[in-house]
Amino acid sequence: MPKDSAGHLVPGRVSAMRPVPSRIRRPEYVGKPGPAPYTAGDLYTPEEIALIRESGRIAARAIERVGEAVRPGVTTEELDAIGHEFLIEHDAYPSTLGYRGYPKSICSSVNEVVCHGIPDDTVLEDGDIVNIDITAYKNGYHGDSNQTFVVGKASEEVELLVDRTRESLNRGIKAVAPGRQVNVIGRAIESYAKRFGYGVVRDFTGHGVGRAFHSGLIIPHYDAAPQYDDVMEVGMVFTIEPMLTLGTHEWDMWADDWTVVTRDRSITAQFEHTIVVTERGAEILTLP
């Protein structure tokens, strides 16, 4: 039966970290409490953008592969194995693996999980939704993307949330243009989401990405003006990744210090691309 608008997840059992062959280059933060301070900025040369695009394409294709396996009865742990193996096969490192101690190669956020869900022995059921977030690191550059998948058949309310969250990302991308402040992206997303009464998560944002997994640049998904007034420039690379909910934008954190859930346990969806600012707007760097 289709699910209602609230979830009831409980933490599952998390298995050991998966091994990565020694031939694959690790990000500098692996094995450390956190990444080194980043000061190199968010502008990239065409040559560097090509490398981010390569990593982004691998991440996008990994998400496609995982999405093909999403069905009732599969565990998020099994989905993690599929994503991990795809990245390894393409000589890319799973950027989340070992990032600030994160134990898995993908994030799998089910139903009321806003983001950063840890794959475990949770079994997906008909009517669930699951967001698959994968970042690939290759040739010294990260490419970051995510998509929400419907497990079997969900309620119309949930199906619409997923479709409209995807569209909110499209509208955020269309707002990108050199000379504009980054807060126009959030204005475009929130003005669309408000038409349907959705909550727009504020405290988890888009970010600069490329040389660093998270550069420090913040891309809000709500109308944050006059804050977040960084001006977009040609060659600037960052993610846009709106999280919309059927209820509140407020959230709670599980004891694992990663899993973020809506405070009212309302269902939430998310979509993400890494983009580069161009003379004419934006180019998506995370297409399969």
116 annotated among ligand-binding-site residues: yes
Q: What is the DSSP letter of 181?
A: B
Tokens of 48: 């560097």
Tell me whether residue 28 is exposed, middle or buried, using C-beta atoms within 10 angstroms of its C-beta: 0 to 12, 13 to 18, 19 or more.
Answer: middle
Q: What is the pLDDT of residue 282?
A: 98
Q: What is the pLDDT of residue 6?
A: 75
Q: Which pairing describes strands 199-200 and 243-245: parallel, antiparallel, or unpaired?
A: antiparallel
Q: What is the pLDDT of residue 5?
A: 66
90 annotated among ligand-binding-site residues: no
Query: Distance between CA atoms of 117 and 243, rounded to whole angstroms?
Result: 14
Phi then psi for 29, rounded to 5 degrees?
-85, -10
207 annotated among ligand-binding-site residues: yes
144 annotated among ligand-binding-site residues: yes
Phi then psi for 256, rounded to 5 degrees?
-75, -5
Q: Are 248 and 53 in contact (CB under 8 A)?
A: no
Q: What is the pLDDT of residue 7?
A: 81
126 annotated among ligand-binding-site residues: no
Q: Are 106 and 86 in contact (CB under 8 A)?
A: no
What does pLDDT average to in each consecutive run of 10 residues of the chain (288 residues)?
67 97 98 97 98 98 98 98 98 98 98 98 98 99 98 98 98 98 98 98 98 98 97 98 98 97 98 98 98
Preceding omega of 288 cis (within 30 degrees of 0): no
Which residues, 6+ apart, have CB-to-CB distance to 193 below 8 Å?
A: 164, 168, 199, 200, 242, 244
Tokens of 169: 């990302």
Q: What is the pLDDT of residue 2?
A: 38
